[in-house]
């Protein structure tokens, strides 16, 4: 009996010395600016600083919404719009170009409260495709529109319209020329921006926007506007935004699969993200994801050399990164 009492006392002592589980922050925001081949030797100090400043600007925009009690979906849109307006990222202004030398833009957004979603593809004149995707989600009664219909719908709704030339930058023209000459550079090929958020009410949201693949055939659509591949949010599990080889992310249903693993297998955000990226890699694809679980767990995961990414929450923590070892 004495030995039994001693054992119980020892167990109680051990339990009392364990660190109490950390409560989740009142709100959290994760962002990404695309995953891929990113080598320090190929990044000038000026480029590095510009990318990090852009990520910080997006975090600031989304954090401001969440800190003031705003909704997760508002924070996601705010963060993505900042990245769309930054010509350093492959979304909105500065997006990669098709073989014909034009930008065809895709975006999607999803509200975890009710699993409403909106997506647009092959947009050519809407300044902020994420705004058009949200309009589809909230006003159209549908989930996805593509092509000229999106530009016309957005104009009729009073969204900001710009000429197609607005999106074209010298950098992307040079990248297109290299690709057409058979000299496609790793950092020229892919890129996407996205955000996931949890607001003070515990609601989740996710959004993704992209110009797609450099020198893509006109009409090609990747995973960014595909609900369940590039974007997914459900208060019962998690919120996800993806970036990478779109065809493989579609085939693996990446965003939905991550949330399914969280909901049905009890995985953390990091565990679910890694398991799903392993599937993508087995298929032959590369990329990354940002994941925010309903329990507050987070993942900024990749199977590439880097991913432009950032994180902020109500504790005041804020960070951005580029390379896999950061």
Q: What is the pLDDT of residue 190?
A: 63
Indicate whether 1 belongs to any domain.
no
Indicate whether 275 belongs to any domain.
yes
Alpha helix (H) residue ranges in the chain: 2-17, 45-67, 72-85, 129-135, 148-156, 170-180, 186-189, 246-251, 254-265, 269-283
Q: What is the pLDDT of residue 287?
A: 97
CATH code for position 258: 3.60.20.30
Q: What is the pLDDT of residue 182?
A: 84
Indicate whether 4 belongs to any domain.
no
Indicate whether 61 belongs to any domain.
yes
pTM: 0.92
For the chain, how many structural domains are there in total?
1
Indicate whether 102 belongs to any domain.
yes
Q: What is the pLDDT of residue 186?
A: 59
Please pick, among 192, 210, 231, 243, the residue that the annotation labels catalytic.
192
Block residue for tokens 């975890």: 112
CA 76 – CA 65 distance, rounded (Å): 9
Indicate whether 155 belongs to any domain.
yes
Task: Give me the domain span that covers residue 282.
Answer: 28-323
Q: What is the pLDDT of residue 191?
A: 84
CB atoms within 10 A of CB 37: 15
Q: Cβ contacts of residue 319 below 8 Å, gap of 6+?
A: 310, 311, 312
Indicate whether 57 belongs to any domain.
yes
Indicate whether 18 belongs to any domain.
no
Mean pLDDT by 10 residues, the chain (326 residues): 39 32 85 88 92 99 99 99 98 97 98 99 99 99 98 99 98 94 69 97 99 94 98 99 97 99 97 98 98 98 96 98 95
Q: Cβ contacts of residue 177 below 8 Å, gap of 6+?
A: none
Cβ proximity of 233 and 241 under 8 Å = no
Q: Which residues of 187-208 are buried (b: 16+ CB within 10 A; e: fewer)?
A: bbbbbbbbbbbbbbeebbbbbb
276 catalytic? Reply is no
């Amino acid at each position: 009996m004495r030995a039994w009492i001693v054992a119980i006392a020892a167990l109680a002592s051990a339990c009392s010395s364990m660190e109490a589980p950390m409560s989740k922050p009142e709100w959290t925001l994760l962002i990404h600016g695309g995953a891929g081949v990113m080598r320090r030797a190929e990044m000038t100090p000026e480029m590095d600083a510009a990318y990090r400043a852009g990520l910080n600007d997006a975090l600031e925009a989304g954090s401001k919404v969440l800190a003031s009690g705003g909704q997760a979906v508002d924070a996601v849109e705010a963060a993505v719009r900042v990245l769309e307006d930054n010509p350093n990222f492959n979304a909105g202004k500065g997006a990669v170009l098709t073989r014909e030398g034009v930008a065809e833009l895709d975006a999607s957004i999803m509200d975890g409260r009710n699993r409403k979603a909106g997506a647009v593809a092959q947009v050519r004149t809407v300044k902020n495709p994420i705004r058009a995707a949200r309009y589809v989600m909230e006003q159209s009664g549908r989930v996805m529109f593509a092509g000229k219909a999106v530009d016309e719908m957005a104009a009729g709704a009073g969204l900001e319209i710009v000429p197609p030339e607005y999106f074209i930058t010298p950098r992307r023209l040079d990248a297109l020329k290299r690709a057409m000459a058979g000299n496609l550079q790793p950092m020229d090929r892919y890129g996407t921006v996205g955000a996931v958020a949890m607001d003070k009410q515990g609601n989740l949201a996710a959004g993704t926007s992209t110009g797609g693949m450099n020198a893509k055939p006109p009409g090609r659509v990747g995973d960014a506007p595909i609900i369940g591949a590039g974007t997914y949010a459900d208060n019962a599990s998690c919120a996800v935004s993806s970036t990478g080889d779109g065809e493989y992310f579609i085939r693996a249903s990446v965003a939905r699969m991550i949330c399914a693993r969280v909901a049905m297998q009890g995985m953390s955000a990091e565990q679910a993200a890694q398991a799903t990226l392993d599937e993508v890699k087995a298929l032959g694809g590369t990329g990354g994801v940002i994941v925010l679980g309903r329990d507050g767990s987070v993942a900024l995961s990749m199977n590439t050399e880097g991913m432009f990414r950032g994180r902020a929450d109500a504790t005041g923590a804020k960070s951005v990164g580029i390379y896999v070892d950061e």
